[in-house]
Structure 1
Amino acid sequence: MKWFAFLLISTIPALAQDGGTMPSELPPGLVSVELLPGWTLPDGHRMVALSVVLEPGWKTYWRSPGDTGVPPQFDWQGSGNLASVAIHWPRPEVIESGGERTLGYHDRLILPIEAVPAQPDQQVELRAVIDFGICEEICVPVQVTLAAPPAHHAPDPAIEAALAETPELSSEKPSCRIDEISDGLRVTAEFKDHEAPEVAMELDDDDVWVSQPELSQAGHVLTAKADFIDGTGRPFPLDAAHLRLTLIGPDSATEFMGCRPVLD
């Protein structure tokens, strides 16, 4: 989908949100996009959410969508009193289209976002420039500039429901083998007593491309294999503790932080 990547770096008029006011014109496939006001957590953190409503049949992407998808990008530089942001990704769907499998969301995405204030006794002012893609038969790049309205006093049931859909974090560390290939690394992970129609393999490094894992099931062992390639086009050091592996099923998902390297 090289043409899609080209469109994303082209000049795109930003949609603006100011106190919840939506622009009069939206690109094809997009019904609405906004930051929901959310509420303040007992520890002083602010919980908001990105809400994206799409036309029927349209989709948007998860943080690690696969070979052809484009994950959302967030720029929080316009915010005030913001120390850090944690995004709580709900379990994605496995979407098949044109012979490709991607991970994303149909129709509507509510993406919970937890903001940590720099000064705990002061409110966080959240403002973001967000780039994301939406697709049906064609793919449309979208850039929006959004500001979160003042927080509500009570939790938002829609955001709470999205939080309940985040993958369960497992304390297990699957075994894995890391092999050098001509242009990078190949990681093979084994999950005992697990089955899943899809596995995501990630590294917290935007400069490393990860292929869509190849899956095989032999008895009680699920094997996932993916290539990791960085900008050098050569093998590179990889810390197995920084790998994130997610088993994704139709009704649940399980996330594993790190794996146990094994040697032949």
Structure 2
Amino acid sequence: MLAFSLQGDFHFSAFRPISLDMKKLLAALLLSLPTVAAAEDFDGMVRATLLPGWRLPNGDHMAALHLELADGWKTYWRSPGDAGIPPSFDWRASTNLQGVAVSWPSPDVFWQSGMRSVGYKHEVTLPLRLRLQNGKQDAHLDGVIDIGVCNDVCLPQRLAISAELPAGNRKPDPRIAAAMADMPYDAEDAGITGVNCTVGPAPRGLGLTVALDLPGATGREETVIEFRDPDLWVADPQTSVQNGRLVAQTRVAHNSRAAFALDRSSMTITVLGGRMPVEIKGCD
């Protein structure tokens, strides 16, 4: 499997899932001032557009990366699965920039030749929240983005994009607002009343079982489990409904094969393919 390392020393993180009321508010945002977007077409498989967005009251800037994929092609979520290529971002050529937080709308789950991947087809807008050195001045976002795009074969793509981010633009872009409204629901909005984890020995690592009290679980759900530690590998979980609870069973190993401990408070559990996408932070 091809993989890319994260370049630069910027901070990358997902947005905290927004509330149901906020989702409705953002989805209702339909008007904005015209914006100028910088777009590039890469070999006909993917077209990348940088939406310049708007300046926030606290001096941060909201922008977005919009990807359009040719028919039959897909690209990957932040945790792509064993069959996917993880994306990476390099913003070091930007000016008036301290850091970038990439937010990930709810993805789809794909199966091919018995292997699972997680990502997007057709198009996706990734909101970018930029922490600026000076929130009162214009900024320039200059990025090199490594992604994988797949059809019958998977190919790495390097996207070079840039855009000016004017400090005076305060009107939200409805395309970015719609992407923010498409984030997974948090545990409270999804009605989750309990999250329990059990850890035990397993061949070449630790076994992990996550049980969720998720109303309306159908048994068709897929789960993704992530840890902050990039050296931890998590197998694609086996997910089922057992005794009225959604249960995900997986194995966790360290890339060095050394002994390790699991910080359950740093876990992110994402449920896809069911009644609604849900993202849960931490586990009891």
- TM-score by length of structure 2 reads 0.79
- Give unpaired runs (5+ residues) of structure 2: 6-36
Between 131-140 and 203-212, the greater mean CA deviation after superposition: 203-212
User: How many residue pairs were aligned?
Assistant: 245
Structure 2: how far apart are the matches of 1:251 and 1:223?
16
* Structure 1 equivalent of residue 123 of structure 2: 108
Structure 1 residue 68: Cα displacement: 1.1
Structure 1 residue 36: Cα displacement: 1.2
> Which string of whole-angstrom CA distances, capped at 9 and with x for unpartnered residues, describes residues 31-81 of structure 1?
x11211111122221111111111111100001121111121011211222
Structure 1 residue 231: Cα displacement: 2.1
CA contact (8 A) 2:139 2:164 kept: no
Percent identity of paired positions between Structure 1 and Structure 2: 34
Matching of residues 158-237 of structure 1 within 5 Å: 158-170=175-187, 174-194=195-215, 195=217, 197-237=221-261
* Structure 2 equivalent of residue 72 of structure 1: 87
Structure 1: how far apart are the matches of 2:61 and 2:276?
26
* Structure 1 equivalent of residue 38 of structure 2: 20
1:224 partner letter: A
CA contact (8 A) 1:182 1:234 kept: no
> Which string of whole-angstrom CA distances, capped at 9 and with x for unpartnered residues, describes residues 222-256 of structure 1?
11012222222143011110010011136631111
Structure 2: how far apart are the matches of 1:97 and 1:191?
27
CA contact (8 A) 2:48 2:65 kept: yes
Structure 1: how far apart are the matches of 2:275 and 2:203?
38
Structure 1 residue 21: Cα displacement: 5.5
Structure 2: how far apart are the matches of 1:236 and 1:255?
25
- TM-score by length of structure 1 reads 0.85
User: Residue 63 of structure 1 aligns to a residue in which SS?
Assistant: coil
Structure 1 residue 191: Cα displacement: 0.5
* Structure 1 equivalent of residue 158 of structure 2: 143
CA contact (8 A) 1:40 1:47 kept: yes
Cα distance change on mapping 1:123 and 1:143 into 2, 3 Å: same
CA contact (8 A) 2:235 2:251 kept: yes
User: Residue 179 of structure 2 aligns to a residue in which SS?
Assistant: helix
1:81 partner letter: N
2:43 partner letter: P
Structure 2: how far apart are the matches of 1:127 and 1:186?
42
Cα distance change on mapping 1:207 and 1:155 into 2, 3 Å: same
RMSD over aligned CA atoms reads 2.3
Structure 1 residue 94: Cα displacement: 1.4
User: Residue 259 of structure 1 aligns to a residue in which SS?
Assistant: coil
User: Residue 160 of structure 1 aligns to a residue in which SS?
Assistant: helix
